[in-house]
């Protein structure tokens, strides 16, 4: 107990060492986060976040942090945002940031938020898709994503943590909608009305290799010469028709 307290009192503990310390203490207190928080003089949320660094941060991230890399100087604030995510999603962010400058915590939070979709606003049937029973939801990790732990509030703000799965379900729904509208509009093209992140663009390209990004077209009216119907595959009004004029390359 004394040794643990002395070790934790060091000011130079890395985020991963803090996570390891929390995991050790939680084992001692049989998972009692409140007891661990009291011992460390921290909030329960802080304990949950550091526990995630010790138990949920992917092996690839831990290895990258142990060597001199683009992410080796990331703070606990950065890493706790990453540790909340499924392993596959964590490693996608790692792949990107190993060759890009360190973002601010708020910038990283925004990038991650773009990958998390509000389940209540899914364009597809979430019951048939199995979303309501899936564990990769923010409500399944209380304390890591939301300060408010009220079950009703958590359900209302529930977000999907598996961007690939969400995209697969959305893509299937979009494909069905696209084929249905193609009968009415033979010259239909796929467009994105919002700017995509690196991960989103990569996923979209797999299914829609010829989709048009916002800078490649401008809004038009159906009656305008050379206007074509654009089927929105990303952005607001997903799955609807938006008349556009393509810009010359």
Give yes or no: residues 175 and 153 share one domain.
Answer: no
> What is each CA distance from 130 to 126, 135, 138, 207, in whole angstroms?
6, 10, 15, 22
Would you give per-residue pLDDT tens digits along the chain (249 residues)?
556 555 665 567 889 988 988 998 999 999 999 998 988 888 988 898 899 999 999 999 999 999 988 999 999 999 999 998 889 889 999 999 999 999 999 999 998 888 888 898 899 998 888 988 888 888 777 666 655 555 565 567 788 988 888 888 988 999 999 999 999 999 999 999 988 877 778 878 888 888 999 999 999 999 999 999 999 999 889 999 999 999 986
Residue 136: domain span: 116-161
Q: Render pLDDT for 82-117 as a digit per residue (tens, 0 to 9).
A: 998 889 889 999 999 999 999 999 999 998 888 888
Find the helix packing angle between 87-97 and 163-182, rounded to 10°.
90
Give yes or no: residues 176 and 242 share one domain.
Answer: yes
In a domain, 205, yes or no: yes
Bridge-based pairing state of the strands 228-234 and 189-192:
parallel
Q: How many domains does the chain have?
A: 2
3-state secondary structure of 140: helix
Give yes or no: residues 148 and 200 share one domain.
Answer: no
**Among 107, 97, 117, residue whose Cα is nearest residue 162:** 117
In a domain, 217, yes or no: yes
> What is each CA distance from 146 to 84, 190, 205, 243, in whole angstroms?
11, 36, 33, 40
Q: What's the full length of the chain, in residues?
A: 249
In a domain, 64, yes or no: no
């Amino acid at each position: 107990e004394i040794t643990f307290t002395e070790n934790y009192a060091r000011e130079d503990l890395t985020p991963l060492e803090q996570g390891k310390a929390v995991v050790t203490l939680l084992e001692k207190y049989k998972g009692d986060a409140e007891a661990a928080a009291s011992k460390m003089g921290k909030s329960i949320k802080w304990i949950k976040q550091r526990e995630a660094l010790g138990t949920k941060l992917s092996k690839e991230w831990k290895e990258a942090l142990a060597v001199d890399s683009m992410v080796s100087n990331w703070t606990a604030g950065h890493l706790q945002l990453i540790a909340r995510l499924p392993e596959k999603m964590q490693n996608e962010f790692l792949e990107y940031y190993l060759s890009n400058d360190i973002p601010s915590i708020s910038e990283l939070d925004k990038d991650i938020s773009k990958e998390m979709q509000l389940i209540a606003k899914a364009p597809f049937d979430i019951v048939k898709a199995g979303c309501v029973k899936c564990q990769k939801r923010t409500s399944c990790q209380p304390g890591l994503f939301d300060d408010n732990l009220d079950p009703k509030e958590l359900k209302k703000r529930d977000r999907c943590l598996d961007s690939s799965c969400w995209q697969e379900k959305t893509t299937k729904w979009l494909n069905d909608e696209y084929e249905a509208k193609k009968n009415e509009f033979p010259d239909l093209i796929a467009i994105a009305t919002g700017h995509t992140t690196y991960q989103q663009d990569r996923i979209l390209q797999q299914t829609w290799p010829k989709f048009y990004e916002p800078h490649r077209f401008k809004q038009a009216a159906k009656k305008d010469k050379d206007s074509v119907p654009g089927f929105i595959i990303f952005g607001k009004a997903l799955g609807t028709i938006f008349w556009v004029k393509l810009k010359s390359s």
